[in-house]
Amino acid sequence: MNVNNMSPLWAALRRDFAVPAAAFAATARAFQADVAAALAGDAGARALLPAYVANPGGGERGYCLALDMGGTNARALLVELLGGGTWRVRRQVACRLRDASRGYDYIAPATTPAALFDFLARLVGEVAPAGGTRLPLGFTFSYPCRQSGPAQAVLLQWNKEIEVPGVVGRDVGALLQAALDRAGVAARLRVIVNDTVATQLAGAYAAQDCRAGVIIGTGFNACYLEERSFPPPGRIINLEAGDFAGVAANRYDWQLDAASANPGGQRLEKMVAGRYVGELVRLAAADLARQGLIRHAAAWRQPYAITAADVGRILADTAPDLPGTAALLRRWGMADSTAAERAALRRLGALVAGRSARLVAAVLCGLVRCSDPALARRHVLAVDGALYRHLPGYAPRLSLLLRRATEESGGSVVLRLTPDGSGVGAAIAALLVE
Ligand code: GLC
């Protein structure tokens, strides 16, 4: 069995997942042009989705409820904004959207809108103070929505493999408020924001130099404060960056896309985000097995058998003989993996993670160039998301790539981790629109 790093198949794999300097620069330029075309209202340009908020001043105070529905978890929070850019989370509950061990799945095709929103309303009920006033509620909903007011948001499409029928085309604000009323929860929905927007708001609440938000989690997306196209103080625009289609896809990307719930959509997200990095590793591993470089394992035939957390475990496995990877391979049906097979898996994980970081860095360079074409200034981007936080080496690598990309122009792109941003930001937004 030839798992040799120098074999032609490995060379092809390295090419498949490479983002050479020219492709990096072209991606940054294409993303910048894509946003400019959309801002100019070009027919055929991707939709940009303005939020009904701009940056906070940092002095906002009060109690607020926040609900955060991401791609994997939902959380409800009772937040006290203290002014001075600080806050305290007074209560918090979090729940997975699907939990086979507890026998529920609120994101499967068999779920109804009422079941999903009743579940979300119950979470809010768990943190809302009993018997008191109806507190304002901010709702972070991490899917593309067209807004016609702060608390009106029509879902344009699901993504991240969520498939609840009957929600696309409807106002998720109305669905949530109806569920809150049904459950008798004392909360007034005041505002709906994307998770990137919420993260930016939390970043800007703490330090006013923050003018953009980024999520690198189950999905990938970014937003920024657009000050030229709107009257002061501007509006934060959700770019739906995961839907950017200007990056060349490799054979595994095409395979993944064709079998996904939304073929043709979210092309970039499917190359970089947490929902997909494990699946790309699985598809490449299956290919290695087909070509006889590693053996077959049951998991190679099972879509989404490898998760981003698994890729994280593989990348964290630095001990000789890779015992952590051996344990995963056992779980996946290969009881007696060889050192070479384990090394092959690790190399695949590194290729997929490395490409993700390079593409994200390129797109973020394109994003800051929208307001600073020469990349001559300092830009602070609030960032959150499980892939960014937990994939070994990912955050430092991204920072390094951004440093290298800007060192000649004299500017900089600084990523500021803003944990809890997608929850706390919704509370900040609720106070901003009060
Ligand atoms: C998907 C959604 C987007 C969200 C991102 C991160 O790309 O379309 O709205 O911000 O995931 O959660």
What pLDDT, in 10s, does the model give residues 275-317? 999 999 999 999 999 999 999 999 999 999 999 999 999 999 9
Atom of ligand 1 nearest to the CA of 71: 12
Residue nearest to atom 6 of ligand 1 (CA): 219
Q: Is the pLDDT of residue 3 over 60?
A: no
For the chain, report the end-to-end CA distance as a whole number of angstroms. 66
pLDDT in tens, 352-363: 999 999 999 999
Please tell me the distance between residue 363's alpha carbon and the centre of ligand 1 in angstroms: 15
309 C-alpha to center of ligand 1: Å?
Answer: 19
Best mutation site among 143, 145, 244 for ligand 1, i.e. most ligand atoms within 8 A of its Cβ?
A: 143
Whose Cα sits closest to atom 9 in ligand 1?
143
Calculate how far, in angstroms, residue 168's C-alpha sits from the geometric centre of ligand 1: 15
Count of other CB atoms within 10 angstroms of residue 36: 15
Radius of gyration of the CA atoms of the chain, in A: 22
For residue 244, how far is the Cα from the chain centroid? 14
CA atoms within 13 A on the CB side of 252: 27
- Name residues contacting ligand 1 (CB within 6 A): 70-71, 142-144, 159-160, 194-196, 215, 217, 219-221, 240, 242, 269
How many Å lie between the centroid of ligand 1 and the Cα of residue 368?
Answer: 19
State the distance from the centre of ligand 1 to the C-alpha of 219, rounded, in angstroms: 5
Which segments of 80-219 does DSSP mark as H helices, in order? 113-127, 172-183, 195-206
Question: How much is the pLDDT for 434?
Answer: 76
Task: Please report the pLDDT score of residue 130 as a whole number.
Answer: 86
Q: Whose CA is nearest to atom 8 of ligand 1?
A: 143
Sequence length of the chain is 434
pLDDT digits (tens, 9 = 90+) for 393-413: 999 999 999 999 999 999 999
Q: Place 132 in a pLDDT band, splitting at 50, 70 and 90.
A: confident
* pLDDT at 203 exceeding the cut of 60: yes
User: Span 87-93, mean pLDDT?
Assistant: 97
pLDDT exceeds 60 at position 2: no
Section 32-52 average pLDDT: 91
Task: At 155, give phi and psi (nearest 5°).
Answer: -70, 125
- 18 CA to centre of own chain: 22
Task: Report whether 396 contacts 383 (CB < 8 A).
Answer: no
Report pLDDT for 157.
Answer: 95
In this structure, the residue with its CA closest to atom 11 of ligand 1 is 219
Q: What's the mean per-residue pLDDT of the chain?
A: 95
* Cβ pair 33, 367 in contact under 8 A: no
Percent of the chain having pLDDT more than 90?
A: 93
Ligand 1 centroid–CA 188 distance in Å is: 25
User: What CA–CA distance (Å, rounded) separates 19 from 119?
Assistant: 42
Q: Is the pLDDT of residue 180 over 80?
A: yes
Supply the pLDDT for residue 319.
95
Checking if the pLDDT of 1 tops 50, the result is no
Residue of 376, 375, 397 lying closest to 388 (CA atoms): 397
- Measured in Å, residue 364 CA sits from the centre of ligand 1 at 15
| Alpha carbon of 187 to ligand 1 centroid (Å) | 25
pLDDT confidence band for 5 (50 / 70 / 90): low
**pLDDT band for position 44 (50/70/90)?**
confident
